[in-house]
Homo-oligomer: A and B are copies of this chain.
């Protein structure tokens, strides 16, 4: 894969917040993503991981704060990125047609497309279903197709929102290898995962989110061995800290770890 020489990294979030109605769903997040790393965002359901990915990728706009790419406007940066969203969306076309459409959207010439499609299809094991309408594929097949579609675009930054949630174990393993490879070619990977094992295997850097806050961002090794945030620690230990209804304040951090899980 070859990139244009221009790099859009690093990506900087400057004190961003996101509001829907009167609810603040992302709260004053500041951080920076460096080129070539593999970031894994962790956190309980509803923490705001997907919102953060969509915000970085430009699908939603910050209510406050700034999303900045190196030397590039958000709009221009868009064409160097690709995303696999958590809930896959398939166009009403064949599996092949879905990838072809994506390549066309990036103005890749007709003659170049079949080879690219062939390669990504093979690598994601979709050969048997390539001519089926994408929307009747099994969910796992759809998720593989979404990965193939995003990868085909040779992005500089690849956003993956739980890319292996619906994959069978061998496929998960194969996709993890693929992610390593893509990353080795220089692509920055920013992903979420609920699979702690996978996170440990893939992450160079880990991010922990809780109720819209970015609680911790640290090199993976450090994070998984001794997270500084006590919520993150509880999460890694499998504690059900956020299960019960509780006031949604920053004090939550101080009190939550003392909760017992409800049985």
A interface, CB within 8 angstroms of B: 20, 43-47, 49-50, 86-87, 122-123, 125, 127-129, 136-141, 144, 162, 165-174, 177, 194, 196, 235, 238-245, 248, 261-263
A169 to B86, CA, bound (A): 17
Instruction: Tell me the minimal C-beta distance from A178 to chain B in angstroms.
Output: 10
List 15 A-B pairs, Cβ < 8 Å.
A45-B139, A45-B166, A45-B167, A45-B171, A46-B128, A46-B138, A46-B140, A46-B141, A87-B87, A122-B244, A125-B243, A125-B244, A128-B248, A170-B243, A170-B261
| Chain B, Cβ-Cβ closest to A139 | B86
CB distance from A257 to the nearest CB of B (A): 13
Q: Which single residue of chain B is at the shortest CB-CB distance from A43?
A: B168
Residues of B within 8 A of A129 (CB): 46
CB distance from A103 to the nearest CB of B (A): 21
Flag if A50 contacts B166 (CB, 8 Å). Answer: no
Q: How far is the CB of A88 from chain B (nearest CB, A)?
A: 9
Nearest CB on B from A46, distance (A): 5
Report yes or no: A166 in contact with B168, Cβ–Cβ below 8 A: no
- Also in contact, A44 and B171, with CB within 8 A (given A127-B244, A177-B263, A244-B125): yes
Residues from chain B with a CB closer than 8 A to the CB of A46 are 128-129, 137-138, 140-141
CB distance from A261 to the nearest CB of B (A): 7
Report the minimum CB–CB distance from A250 to chain B (whole Å).
16
Contacts of A240 in B (CB 8 A): 125, 170-171, 173-174
Closest chain B residue, CB of each to CB of A236: B169
Q: Which residues of B contact A50 (CB under 8 A)?
A: 138-139
Task: Please determine whether A165 and B168 come into contact, CB atoms closer than 8 angstroms.
Answer: no
Most chain-B Cβ atoms within 10 A of its Cβ — which of A87, A137, A168, A263? A168
Contact of A172 among B128, B167, B194 (CB under 8 A): B194
Known: A139-B86, A263-B177. A162 touches B166 (CB 8 A): yes
Name the B residues within 8 Å of A242 (CB-CB): 125
Given contacts A122-B262, A169-B238, A174-B243, 6 further A-B contacts (CB under 8 A): A45-B140, A50-B139, A125-B244, A167-B194, A170-B243, A174-B261
Task: Report the bound CA distance from A248 to B167 in whole Å.
Answer: 21
* Complex: A241 Cα to B173 Cα, angstroms: 13
The answer on a CB contact under 8 Å between A45 and B168 is yes
- Given the complex of chains A and B, what is the CA–CA distance between A27 and B148 in angstroms? 29
